[in-house]
Amino acid sequence: MYLTKDEEKAIKGESGETIALAYRILLAIGEATDAEKLVPIEWAHVSGVNYNTIGDAGVRFLEEFSNDARTSVKTTINPMGFDRRRIQDLHDERFILKQMAIVKSYERIGAIPSFTCIPYEIFDIPPKGTFISFSESNAAVFSNSLLGLLTNKESALSALASSVIGKTPYSDLRMDSFRHPKIAIKPDFDLSTELDYGLLGYFAGKVVSESCVAFEGSNGSPSLIKSKALCAGIGTSGSCGMFTMSKNSSCKEVISCGNEEISTIKDELNTSEDGDIIAFGSPQLGMNELNLISQLVEHKKFTKRCMIFCPRSINIQATMNGITKKIEKAGAEFICDCCICLTPLITKENADSVITNSVKAAYYLNRSNKLTVALKDLENIMVDYTEAR
């Protein structure tokens, strides 16, 4: 990768060790993606905030890094491990202290304490074609595919390095030539609910190792809730960072995704028939989904504990227009700042099995939290687990 004279000086440590480290990260990912040069970005969204995801190594790294590192572009961050206003939910002082050390480091660096995995539903969206650096996988796929922003599927460290340097390698999905898929997936099953889209995405991530995939046969973009499920599915299982959607793609290679493929994916992710807790929000829910849930629970109540994960800002907005109240009346609880994935709020101590409509949640609840999962779509969950109030 070509470096300017100033960049070469910085990598040798002339601007300090922290800047040199950030450049070393960018150089490594630049080499890995065959980048020709670094280009400026306007926005970094950084993952690696929840203590359960980055551990003591992450706490230590961020403490040292935040001594000198400061953001040079707009920087938003992923969910943490719990809701800062409901600390009583978590009976684990050690976790709380470690988590707050991470939060402090990000605040020192200058990140906006957004604690969200759906920055695309909260912040102003830059014009199409803008370079960004997003490490939250669902947000990277969403930004590339639906907003026309340009990012690779970054790692927690590469997005962090870019937030400080303000640059990223010019490679892969940041170049037009990589944004035209060579492999297409043709859904050959009843693709109707958001869960179906999540399963399709998970399948696509598994079988496609290229950066961009086409989905064939669909009429236009799916709804926001289905798009989010698709992006989260793709981001969870593989390395693919973008999709396109059209009636017919011009791809030479077309892979069919039929009932057999979907049932194999379901067998992997749907590990229980039923559950003790209902969890919505991986990715975190936006106004769209909260609106839908509030309509579906009118005059009803949940028959099991229902946890709804959404960003603080969405929760405030929903409270202002009465949606929060409607959903809480049905017995559900709102949890902000965190999401289902790797949260210490859902563990073997409070549930054996979880009911969710999220493929991403199913994967992480099973692999990381070691819980079984009953995968059902939103409307079915509302039918099966609510009764008249």
Residues that bind another protein (CB under 8 A): 21, 24-25, 27-29, 31-33, 47-48, 53-58, 60-61, 135-137, 152-159, 161, 205, 209, 236-239, 268, 363-364, 367-368
Smallest gap from Cβ 153 to another protein, in A, equals: 7
CA distance 284 to 336: 9
Smallest gap from Cβ 222 to another protein, in A, equals: 23
Q: Whose Cβ is closer to another protein: residue 222's or residue 238's?
A: 238
CA distance 8 to 2: 9
Q: Whose Cβ is closer to another protein: residue 121's or residue 154's?
A: 154
User: Residue 80's beta-bridge partner residues?
Assistant: 338
Q: Whose Cβ is closer to another protein: residue 222's or residue 233's?
A: 233
Q: Whose Cβ is closer to another protein: residue 162's or residue 294's?
A: 162
Smallest gap from Cβ 55 to another protein, in A, equals: 5
Q: Whose Cβ is closer to another protein: residue 168's or residue 324's?
A: 168
Gyration radius from the chain CA atoms: 21
Please report, as a single letter, which amino acid is at residue 386: T
Helix (H) or strand (E) holding 21: helix 17-32
Say if CB 199 and CB 234 are below 8 A apart: no
Among candidate residues 327, 371, 319, the one with its CA nearest the CA of residue 345: 371
Say if CB 255 and CB 210 are below 8 A apart: no
Q: Whose Cβ is closer to another protein: residue 302's or residue 309's?
A: 309
Smallest gap from Cβ 57 to another protein, in A, equals: 4
Q: Whose Cβ is closer to another protein: residue 58's or residue 281's?
A: 58
DSSP H helical ranges for 238-377:
259-269, 287-296, 312-320, 323-329, 359-367
Is the previous residue joined to 344 through a cis bond, with omega within 30 degrees of 0?
Answer: no
Among candidate residues 153, 246, 235, 244, the one with its CA nearest the CA of residue 202: 235
Largest CA distance in the chain: 70
